[in-house]
């Protein structure tokens, strides 16, 4: 009788380990597929087959056109510690080739929308983690994208995103 109980306990433990490993494996597959999808959508990895369309534009054949439609807020903040919020948004806005007369107004609007007005003149290296995420979100929004990709969105205040 003791042997059966022991065997059942061993079976239960082994069964739970298998379920845990299976769930972990599924989680890993989902994470990798999302991870690769983001890299494909941002142009870091090329599609080996198939195609992705963003507003009827093919990602594989019109990469430069579709990249202007995408804003990407990565998990790791793309900020330079010695620049303030205005300089950072100006830098990324000019990379996006936004005309200066439009860019100045857009920077003011984004800083207000994400709640960085009190900190905008301070260097990014002095920001808290939350303020760095807010500025990263503003960087992703600077090009007025049609599609916004947020990596590790749980780190952001969701009320900032609904503008």
CATH number at 118 reads 3.40.50.300
- Per the domain annotation, does 31 fall within a domain? no
Q: Which residues contact 87 (CB under 8 A, 6 or more apart)?
A: none
**pLDDT reported for residue 159:** 55
Q: Is residue 72 part of a domain?
A: yes
Picking from 29-33, 35-39, 81-85, 104-108, which range would have the lowest pLDDT averaged per residue?
29-33
The pair of structure tokens assigned to 119 is 């900190």
Provide the pLDDT for residue 41. Answer: 79
* Residue reference for tokens 């857009």: 106
Identify whether 8 is part of a domain: no
**pLDDT classification of 7: cutoffs 50, 70, 90:** very low
Residue 1 lies in a domain: no
Q: Which of 28-37, 48-57, 100-109 has the highest mean pLDDT?
A: 100-109
Mean pLDDT value of segment 126-152: 89
**pLDDT of 162 over the 60 cut:** no
More confident residue, 20 or 63: 63
Q: How many domains does the chain have?
A: 1
Task: Say what angle helices 129-141 and 100-114 make with each other, to 10 degrees.
Answer: 140
Kindly state whether residue 20 falls inside one of the protein's structural domains.
no
pLDDT of residue 18: 58
Tell me whether residue 154 is in a domain: yes
Give a yes or no: residue 109 inside a domain. yes
Question: What is the 8-class DSSP label of residue 80?
Answer: -
Host domain of residue 124 = 63-161
Q: How far from each other are the two terminal CA atoms of the chain, in whole angstroms?
A: 66
Q: Is pLDDT above 90 for 152?
A: no
In a domain, 25, yes or no: no
């Amino acid at each position: 009788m003791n042997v059966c109980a022991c065997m059942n306990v061993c079976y239960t433990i082994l069964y739970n380990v298998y379920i845990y490993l299976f769930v972990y494996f599924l989680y890993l597959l989902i994470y990798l597929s999302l991870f690769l999808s983001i890299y494909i959508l941002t142009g870091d990895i090329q599609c080996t087959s198939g195609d992705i369309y963003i507003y009827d534009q093919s990602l594989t054949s019109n990469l430069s056109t579709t990249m202007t439609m995408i804003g990407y807020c990565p998990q790791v903040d793309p900020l330079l510690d010695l620049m303030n919020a205005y300089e950072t948004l100006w830098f990324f806005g000019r990379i996006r080739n936004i005309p200066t007369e439009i860019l100045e107004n857009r920077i003011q609007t984004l800083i207000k929308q994400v709640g960085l007005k009190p900190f905008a003149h301070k260097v990014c290296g002095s920001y808290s983690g939350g303020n760095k995420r807010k500025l990263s979100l503003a960087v992703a929004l600077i090009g007025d994208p049609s599609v916004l990709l947020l990596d590790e969105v749980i780190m952001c205040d969701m009320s900032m995103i609904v503008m």
